[in-house]
């Protein structure tokens, strides 16, 4: 326990500070603080999920810049899947499946065909933008609303409860997904193998790990998380589909992945930071108490990303084999 605290001193202090500040504001203005945090977490959810896709990919050695396209396809599939079947749950399944298919496409292109990974990602983005605008039909509505679920006990905690534990299904699942991905990457055999494949594939191969298979499986499964992010946007956050619904969130997620140092918990913190500063930017406009032009407030997360990366130079580095196709020798 003491070891854990001394090893993680900085994150624990930060977390404690943020919590204290949040509760101070909560006691000053309960409604505003809660609604700002709800906005912030809602903004962060798709970014966190999409960042997980990027992390799993790069930790295994495959750069995925097609997250935007994967999300867009899934959002499209989940929305029109719900409309056609008349059932939002079937729509969720269809959306996640679409993510899996898009993940599998990247896996086949980047790992099996050894195509340039950046180009494969760009192809996914273009295919998704083209297909979803071409087949988009305006004027459709969801057959039912995404139910809001409250987790007993946890949802009664002031502030934290309504923000994190009283939500639609995807937003609720996101916290657990992050914890699961974090555990899987750092504490399981699969995680160790994946990381070795991402750092030094030839050594992993020599140790008897099937490099290509693990890359194929990981990139495909990560697609399902992009599917969750897309379905969240269409079914839960917007309740509709529009062309270009993802609005660049897939690319923002890559910045968050780097900001979070290719670490799921780091990405969660980074996404929360992005979400919170967006929420605060909008609240400052609404209150007109402090007269800072909103453009400056909205710059904050991006400036912070640069600062963090500049400070952390040398300590933060991408997985060594990210972006390199692996060909077995001999």
**Contact set with another protein (CB under 8 A):** 31-32, 34-36, 38-39, 42-43, 46, 109, 113, 115, 123, 126-127, 129-131, 133-134, 138-139, 141, 145, 233, 237-240, 242-245, 247-249, 278-279, 281-283, 285-286, 294-295, 298
Among the listed residues 56, 108, 65, the one whose alpha carbon sits nearest the alpha carbon of residue 224 = 56
CB-wise, 243 or 328, nearer to another protein?
243
How far is the C-alpha of 314 from the C-alpha of 319, rounded, in Å? 13
Distances (CA, A) of 292 to 21, 153, 289, 295: 21, 39, 9, 8
CB-wise, 152 or 248, nearer to another protein?
248
How far apart are CB 50 and another protein at their closest, in Å?
Answer: 13
How far apart are CB 29 and another protein at their closest, in Å?
Answer: 9
Residues 6+ apart with CB under 8 A from 10: none
How far apart are CB 321 and another protein at their closest, in Å?
Answer: 22
How far apart are CB 202 and another protein at their closest, in Å?
Answer: 24
CB-wise, 75 or 222, nearer to another protein?
75
CB-wise, 34 or 70, nearer to another protein?
34
How far apart are CB 314 and another protein at their closest, in Å?
Answer: 32
How far apart are CB 312 and another protein at their closest, in Å?
Answer: 25
Beta bridge partners of 316: 313
How far apart are CB 219 and another protein at their closest, in Å?
Answer: 16
Question: What are residue 316's phi and psi, to 5 degrees?
Answer: -95, 120
CB-wise, 51 or 261, nearer to another protein?
51
CB-wise, 262 or 273, nearer to another protein?
273
CB 91 within 8 A of CB 85: yes
CB-wise, 83 or 309, nearer to another protein?
83
CB 99 within 8 A of CB 227: yes
How far apart are CB 273 and another protein at their closest, in Å?
Answer: 15
- What b/e string do you get for 179-217 counting C-beta neighbours within 10 Å, with b at 16 or more? eebbeebeeeeebebbbbbbbbbeebbeeebebbebbbb
CB 275 within 8 A of CB 40: yes
CB 47 within 8 A of CB 276: no
CB-wise, 11 or 239, nearer to another protein?
239
SS3 content of the chain, % helix, strand, coil (to 5): 75, 0, 25
**Structure tokens, 12:** 């624990």
Half-sphere exposure of 76 (CA within 13 A, CB side): 24
């Amino acid at each position: 326990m003491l070891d854990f605290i001394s090893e993680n001193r900085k994150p624990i202090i930060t977390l404690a500070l943020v919590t204290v500040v949040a509760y101070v504001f909560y006691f000053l203005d309960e409604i505003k603080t809660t609604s700002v945090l709800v906005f912030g977490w809602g903004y962060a959810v798709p970014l966190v999920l999409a960042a997980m896709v990027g992390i799993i990919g790069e930790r295994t050695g495959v750069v995925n810049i097609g997250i935007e396209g994967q999300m867009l396809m899934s959002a499209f599939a989940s929305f029109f899947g719900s409309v056609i079947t008349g059932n939002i749950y079937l729509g969720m399944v269809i959306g996640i499946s679409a993510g899996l298919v898009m993940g599998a496409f990247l896996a086949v292109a980047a790992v099996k065909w050894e195509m340039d990974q950046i180009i494969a990602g760009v192809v996914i983005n273009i295919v998704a933008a083209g297909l979803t605008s071409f087949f988009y039909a305006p004027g459709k509505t969801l057959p039912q609303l995404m139910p809001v679920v409250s987790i007993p006990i946890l949802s009664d905690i002031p502030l934290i409860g309504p923000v994190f534990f009283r939500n639609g299904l995807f937003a609720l699942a996101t916290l657990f997904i992050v914890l699961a991905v974090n555990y899987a990457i750092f504490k399981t055999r699969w995680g160790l193998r994946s990381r070795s494949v991402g750092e030094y594939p030839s050594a992993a191969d020599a140790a008897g790990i099937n490099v290509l298979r693990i890359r194929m499986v990981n990139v495909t499964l990560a697609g399902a998380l992009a599917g969750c992010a897309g379905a969240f946007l269409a079914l839960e956050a917007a309740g509709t589909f529009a062309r270009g619904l993802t609005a660049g969130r897939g690319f923002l997620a890559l910045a968050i992945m780097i900001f979070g140092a290719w670490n799921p918990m780091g990405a969660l913190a980074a996404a929360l930071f992005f979400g919170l500063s967006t929420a605060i930017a909008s609240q400052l406009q609404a209150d007109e108490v402090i007269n800072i032009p909103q453009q400056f407030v909205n710059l904050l997360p991006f400036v912070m990303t640069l600062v963090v990366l500049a400070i952390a130079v040398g300590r933060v580095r991408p997985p060594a084999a990210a972006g390199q196709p692996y060909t077995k020798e001999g």
